[in-house]
Amino acid sequence: MKHLLGTKGMTREDAIRILDTAAQMAATQDREIRKLPTLRGKTVVNLFFEDSTRTRISFEAAAKRLSADVINFSAKGSSVSKGESLKDTALTLQAMGADAVVVRHWASGAAYQLAHGGWLHGSVLNAGDGTHEHPTQALLDAYTMRKHLMGDDGARTDGKGLDGLRVAIVGDVLHSRVARSNMHLLTTLGASVALVAPPTLLPVGMDSWPVEVFHGLDDALDARPVDAVMMLRVQRERMTGGGAAFFPSPAEYTRMFGLDSARMARLAEHGIVMHPGPMNRGLEISAEAADSPRSVIVEQVANGVAVRMAALYLLLAGEEQA
Ligand code: CP
């Protein structure tokens, strides 16, 4: 594997290798081995054209825990604001000797363009491109589910995925790269996926997706037990007119799709509550649900470091170590 651009087309074997490696990385962190020498001498560039808290910080932490040098590049305050293109930005990074570029961009396909434009020699890791893919988020979500719901207490080598789990992904699917990456990865790993959204927040052309679709959260909870409910952020900034086109209204949305204590109590007995963050508390999720013992939202963030360590390790050192 040279790049990590998406989960669409990722084999089960590759996905499980990343999850197993993440478990091994987490085990080193649990043993308080804070820094591994694996990527000493390598340079990782975080190239962010869109805002981020969790992804940027955890990629930085992951690279540093593997002893890589890290350069953080934010489009704000750079020559991008003077009109510099993605190509010229990439050529500048190549000149600085980047071994890996972690890119977040508002344009769907930007990570692919960076990887295959012939501008960079190193690896490209997609940290979210438009409404397309956010593969490391889906991997950290799968890792969290495997740990909580499949009894994964360490580095496992039994090829176990998420077979038999039922996961409900709820909300603004239309604008969500997290939903797309999760849908591909979860089905590859053997889980079944229910998408729960108003018709206005579902993409056209999703008839071929291997999912069930519901237009109300109660309907999805009635149908079969839900092992994990993944609440999506309503991305008002991606809606025409900065939210003016948000339909249904926020109050109606919360009534039909919001996760509150009553709906949370209807999950499977062991069911968990997930959210990729950042959350709109009071819109897609109540504070009680977000902060409840069933919530693994903070743990998702922590698991992101181990998963991103695994991704960087496998792309930058995996071949050398094999
Ligand atoms: N989940 C996620 O991508 O969060 P950030 O936008 O804070 O990176």
The ipTM estimated for the assembled molecules is 0.99
User: Average pLDDT for residues 29-56, to the nearest whole number?
Assistant: 91
Ligand 1 centroid – CA 54 distance (Å) = 5
Check the annotation: does 255 bind a ligand.
no
192-232 pLDDT, tens digit per residue, is: 999 999 999 999 888 889 999 999 999 999 999 999 999 99
* Mean pLDDT score of the chain: 92
* Closest C-alpha to 88, from 64, 109, 67, 114: 114
Q: Got the DSSP string for 121-160?
A: SSEEEEEEETTTB-HHHHHHHHHHHHHHHS---S---S--
172-184 pLDDT, tens digit per residue, is: 999 999 999 999 9
Q: Which of 134-148, 195-209, 240-254, 287-301 has the lowest mean pLDDT?
A: 240-254
Hey, which of 46, 54, 180, 301 would you mutate to test ligand 1's pocket, going by the most ligand atoms within 8 Å of its Cβ?
54
215 and 199 in contact (C-beta within 8 Å)?
Answer: yes
**Which superfamily is assigned to 3-132+302-317 in CATH?**
Aspartate/ornithine carbamoyltransferase (3.40.50.1370)
Percent of the chain residues topping a pLDDT of 70? 94
Ligand 1 centroid – CA 95 distance (Å) = 28
Q: Residue 1: pLDDT above 70?
A: yes
Strongest mean pLDDT among 32-36, 70-74, 313-317: 313-317
Q: Whose CA is nearest to atom 1 of ligand 1?
A: 276
Cβ neighbours for 66, distance < 8 A, ≥ 6 positions apart:
35, 36, 38, 39, 309, 312, 313, 317
304 and 276 in contact (C-beta within 8 Å)?
Answer: no
Where do the domains of the chain lie?
3-132+302-317, 135-300
Pocket lined around ligand 1, Cβ cut-off 6 Å: 52-55, 128, 137, 276-278
Q: Residue 155: pLDDT above 60?
A: no
pTM over 0.90: yes
Check the annotation: does 215 bind a ligand.
no
**Equal fold, 3-132+302-317 vs 135-300:** yes
**Which superfamily is assigned to 135-300 in CATH?**
Aspartate/ornithine carbamoyltransferase (3.40.50.1370)
User: Average pLDDT for residues 284-294, to the nearest whole number?
Assistant: 98
Check the annotation: does 318 bind a ligand.
no
